[in-house]
Structure 1
């Protein structure tokens, strides 16, 4: 009896999915300065206005936060943090580019994982000298690879911030490519070359940069997500030929509650277990 195709958990769409978010506005250095300016503004209100009047803005902000939290905690349907969450277990399985179907074979296609990031070793963090130019290059590279995703075979990207320091001043993008040739083509694009030349040659020495690349063959990777929105490889967006013959962007997130995808070896197509048994 033939295995059933994996069931996708999101609908194909005519445009590419975009979930890169904003790493810059949530940086801890900027948050500290925002708190500093907010505190300074509150002090100015105390100086200029009667005490009870000056307390009104802070009291309103606090009351709004308290009421919003209470409503969302007591009424799950109003909880914005659950938006996009796929309840249950899911896994990332790349669809066929020719058909848009997932098939029934786990980890059927190779994938290249690429980490690309920068770090600001300076007390001013993202406000330090050269930070704006670095971020501009960083954003330009992200825009380039998204605009030419199909040409480069770029399947998806996710932004991350490291927490090894209290400053959280390390920014990283995790990319997924179909093959190393596509990654190499992106690396030799003029936009990426300019970013590399700036960081390696003329950028300030307090700005660090790095990349890592992992070429993963079929049957050598697996993923599981529980009660999560599409994330990492699961948040990829793959250009395929849809069932109607038109191009469609398909997310690789499929249900992992049934069949082979319930176990780690199953999600790998049992390649590692077969290797151990021989």
Structure 2
């Protein structure tokens, strides 16, 4: 009996849909340690008490505390108001790459190669993002990110995701994770003038307290796997592949009627993992399929 083809859990779109991270907030959130934030809050509250009647001075704190407690209690008691469950796909899901020539997935897991690229920075200075050269570094970092988003099709960008380390109280390593269709696309990005300018400037003027890095991993066919349980699309599961979608297909189980070309579309990689071929690690790497076929 033929194995059932995978199908995307998210409808395809006519253009690439990538959640552009708010890099300014991304950098600022990690800029201050908890003692610093508490000290600033205490200072502001003290100033209010000094210049305003006590009842008025405590009003902002009272309103904010009441709002936080009530919204948390309501969301906990009524799941329908829980914003944290937004976009969650209940159950087991996995990331699989559709065929870019058809928009269909087929039924063999990890059937195509993929490139994973880590690109990050760390400010080893008490002033963090306010240290010498940090703002210019952030500007270059943001320009590079905007570049790869603007040229997603040319570079073969499939998805991206911001991540923050937890190695210390503040000013941790900040990193973007990118997914590319192939290493040639990544190499095009690396040789773009905007990236070259950033690389040359940071080496020349960044300062010893500005650390930066990248890592690239070329995962061949059958050399990777993924599983997500009760999660929103993230990492490779939030990627989309530019495809030529054909006759009657809406994102790829391979059972569309006819082969009339409908044009290009961006097909999401997230599929249900409730299928025998995606139930084990080796299965999700396509090795059990190869074993059964004698490959």
What TM-score, normalized to structure 1? 0.93
Unaligned residue ranges in structure 2 (runs of 5+): 248-261
Moved more, 69-78 or 25-34: 25-34
Structure 1 CA distance for aligned equivalents of residues 4 and 163 of structure 2: 35
Note the 1:121-200 alignment, pairs <5 A: 121-200=124-203
Residue of structure 2 equivalent to 1:208: 211
Residue of structure 1 equivalent to 2:242: 239
Residue of structure 2 equivalent to 1:52: 55
Contact 1:93 1:106 in 2 (8 A): yes
Does the alignment pair 1:76 with 2:79? yes
Structure 2 CA distance for aligned equivalents of residues 96 and 123 of structure 1: 49
Structure 1 CA distance for aligned equivalents of residues 288 and 205 of structure 2: 46
Residue of structure 1 equivalent to 2:253: none
Does the alignment pair 1:252 with 2:289? no
Structure 1 CA distance for aligned equivalents of residues 240 and 68 of structure 2: 35
Structure 2 CA distance for aligned equivalents of residues 254 and 195 of structure 1: 37
Give the C-alpha shift of residue 212 in structure 1.
Answer: 0.7
Structure 2 CA distance for aligned equivalents of residues 51 and 240 of structure 1: 63
Contact 2:159 2:235 in 1 (8 A): yes
Contact 1:162 1:168 in 2 (8 A): no
Give the C-alpha shift of residue 223 in structure 1.
Answer: 0.3
Q: Secondary structure at the match of 1:94?
A: coil
Structure 2 CA distance for aligned equivalents of residues 237 and 102 of structure 1: 12
Contact 1:6 1:254 in 2 (8 A): yes
Residue of structure 1 equivalent to 2:95: 92
Q: Secondary structure at the match of 1:222?
A: coil
Unaligned residue ranges in structure 1 (runs of 5+): none
